[in-house]
Structure formats: structure tokens, C-alpha cells
């Protein structure tokens, strides 16, 4: 820029030549979003969080995870009416408040995700010993909310946070665990395995697989307990093994997830043998499995 250009710029921006105007921040946010999308660092994430610990400690976390009440948000206008349904069961706002006029880049810098949790489902975890409990959250975000998770683990050090997430666009999945406010485990896991564990409609698939066994009257023999090799052998004997793999391919919560289970023949058989069939055999022995007509 020549001297004339410098003088014009100084007059147009009296606060300083190098002060960043609003348009610069906007361009920067677009650039960051483009880079993150290209590298797969962010993207629509499916999240599964299980929090375990003392009953009172878990209750305290649930309070921190619930969306803030109107009185806790000082930037909201007074007299605005709210109803019970306005308070979500999971929000990053109470623990790490972000003013609503902040953009996605600012939210991502605070939470790790450019937007708050959506499609939230909360359920009780597996039964625990007396005085202990767990709660499970399933939700979607614009990216994994890792900064919020770290803040939650730091504030509630007595709790164990088991976190699993997948990014369908990148076909990747990870799991991590916090204990005593420290990250003690993090690893990449099989995306198809993640889809099987969190998206597949297992009861429907198991009912169909039972029909493919073609037992007389649809009843599983009770004289000896079936094992995985027995089930595989019967599927081959009845000529229905390929059909069983096709049913597995159709599982998933949506197009990306279904594609994850439509693997190469070797990978699909491995998933079927190591993950699907052991659960199916256990289901056959259960009360639910025995009641389902083949």
C-alpha cells in the first residue's frame, strides 16, 4: 500500500490502521470453517455420554447439564415468558455461558462445538451398587464438544465420564474416558462397530435372524445351548447366511450409518462374527428372544 493509501485507511479507521474490522472476523470465521470441514476436524457429530458416580454427584452434574433458567441469563429481557418445555435436558450454556450474539467460531472456542446439543435423549444407565448411579445422554452437535466435556469433568472430579462420538461424514469414531478430572483413555474405534452399538435396530435384526435359522415350529432347541459356531453352521446349512449379511447391511440410523455396515465381504463377516452373532446368541437365550416367533 502506498502513502496515499495509508492516509486514506487511517482516516477511514481512526481507531488504528491494524484494528480488525468486523468483516475481517467474518472472513476469518469462514476460512476456519472451510479448513475444519476439509480436514474432517469438525462435522455433524453423534454423541453418547455416560456419567457414573455417587447419586448426589450425578444429580449435581445433571443440574449443571440442564439448560439454564431465564434468570441465569442476564442478557435476556425481563418479563419474557418461559415454560417448562423451554429448558432442555442438556445444554452447554449453564456450565460455559456464551452470549447469543456470539458466532459459531466463538461458541466452538468455548464448547468445542459451534452449536448447542440437539436431539437430546436422556436415559438411566445400567444398575449400579447401592449409593451409585449413572445417566446416559445421546445427542447431536456441530462438532464434538470436547472443551465442555473437559470443563464438566474438572468441575465434577468424583464422576466418571465415558464419552463416545462419531462423525458420519468422515466415517470415524472415537471413545474417551475422564476420571478424577483427567483424561485417562482416548482411542479411535471402528466406525462400523460404533454404528452397530449405537444406531442399529438390534431387536428387529435379531427377530429376522431367528427366522433365518428355520427351526421346526420356530423354536430354538433347549437340549443344548447354541453357540456362535452352531448358529453360523445352521445359517450355512439353510442357505441363509448371505441373507443374514444383507440384513446387517440394511441396519443403521440413516444413509451414512447404513453405508458403514455395507462393508467389504471380509470386514462385514468379521463384524458379523465378532459382534453381531455373540449378542444374537445371548438374545436367543433371553426371555425376549424365546417369545419372538420366527
Determine the pLDDT at residue 129: 81
Residues 46, 176: one domain?
yes
Residues 51, 27: one domain?
no
pLDDT exceeds 60 at position 56: yes
Q: Are 139 and 163 in contact (CB under 8 A)?
A: no
- The 3-class SS string of 187-244 reads EEECHHHHHHHHCCCHHHHHHHHHHHHCCHHHCCCCCCCCCHHHHHHHHHHCCCHHHH
Residues 216, 233: one domain?
yes
Q: What is the mean pLDDT of residues 112-116?
A: 93
Q: What is the mean pLDDT of residues 146-166?
A: 96
* Calpha distance 65→157 (Å, rounded): 15
Lowest pLDDT segment from 66-70, 73-77, 179-183? 73-77
Domain boundary, last residue among 147, 169, 189: 189
For residue 9, what are the domain limits? 1-39
Lowest pLDDT segment from 107-121, 224-238, 249-263? 249-263
DSSP, collapsed to helix, strand or coil, labels residue 120 as strand
Number of domains present in the structure of the chain: 3
Determine the pLDDT at residue 206: 93
Lowest pLDDT segment from 131-145, 232-246, 251-265? 251-265
Q: Identify the CA nearest to 112 among candidates 159, 176, 200.
A: 176
Determine the pLDDT at residue 111: 95
Lowest pLDDT segment from 85-94, 219-228, 241-250, 257-266? 257-266
Strands ordered across the beta sheet of 160-167: 118-124, 132-141, 45-54, 160-167, 172-179, 182-189
Residues 58, 159: one domain?
yes
Q: Is this model's pTM higher than 0.85 or not? A: no
pLDDT exceeds 70 at position 40: no
Task: Give residue for cell 472430579.
Answer: 157
State the DSSP H helix or E strand holding residue 50, giving kind and residue range, or none if neither. strand 45-54
Residues 69, 180: one domain?
yes
Domain of residue 160, CATH code: 3.30.70.1270
Amino acid at each position: 500500500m502506498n502513502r496515499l493509501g495509508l492516509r486514506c485507511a487511517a482516516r477511514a479507521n481512526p481507531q488504528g490502521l491494524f484494528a480488525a474490522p468486523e468483516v475481517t472476523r467474518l472472513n476469518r470465521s469462514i476460512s476456519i470453517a472451510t479448513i475444519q470441514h476439509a480436514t474432517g476436524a469438525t462435522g455433524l457429530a453423534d454423541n453418547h455420554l455416560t456419567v457414573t458416580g455417587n447419586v448426589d454427584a450425578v444429580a449435581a452434574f445433571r443440574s449443571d447439564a440442564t439448560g439454564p433458567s431465564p434468570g441465569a441469563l442476564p442478557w435476556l429481557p425481563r418479563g419474557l415468558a418461559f415454560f417448562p418445555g423451554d429448558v432442555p435436558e442438556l445444554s452447554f450454556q449453564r456450565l460455559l455461558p456464551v452470549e447469543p450474539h456470539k458466532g459459531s467460531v466463538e461458541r466452538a472456542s468455548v464448547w468445542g462445538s459451534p452449536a448447542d446439543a440437539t436431539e437430546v435423549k436422556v436415559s438411566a444407565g445400567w444398575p449400579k451398587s447401592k449409593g451409585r448411579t449413572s445417566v446416559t445422554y445421546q445427542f447431536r452437535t456441530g462438532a464434538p464438544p470436547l472443551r465442555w466435556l473437559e470443563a464438566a469433568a474438572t468441575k465434577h472430579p468424583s464422576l466418571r465420564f465415558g464419552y463416545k462420538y462419531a462423525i458420519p461424514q468422515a466415517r470415524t469414531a472415537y471413545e474417551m474416558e475422564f476420571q478424577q478430572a483427567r483424561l485417562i483413555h482416548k482411542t479411535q474405534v471402528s466406525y462400523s462397530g460404533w454404528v452397530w452399538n449405537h444406531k442399529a435396530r438390534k431387536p428387529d435384526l435379531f427377530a429376522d435372524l431367528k427366522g433365518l435359522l428355520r427351526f421346526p415350529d420356530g423354536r430354538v432347541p433347549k437340549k443344548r445351548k447354541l453357540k456362535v459356531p452352531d448358529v453360523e453352521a445352521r445359517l450355512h446349512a439353510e442357505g441363509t447366511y448371505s441373507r443374514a449379511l444383507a440384513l446387517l447391511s440394511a441396519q443403521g440410523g440413516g444413509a451414512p450409518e447404513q453405508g458403514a455396515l455395507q462393508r467389504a465381504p471380509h470386514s462385514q463377516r468379521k463384524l458379523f462374527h465378532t459382534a453381531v452373532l455373540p449378542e444374537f446368541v445371548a438374545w436367543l437365550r433371553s426371555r425376549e428372544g424365546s417369545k419372538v416367533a420366527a
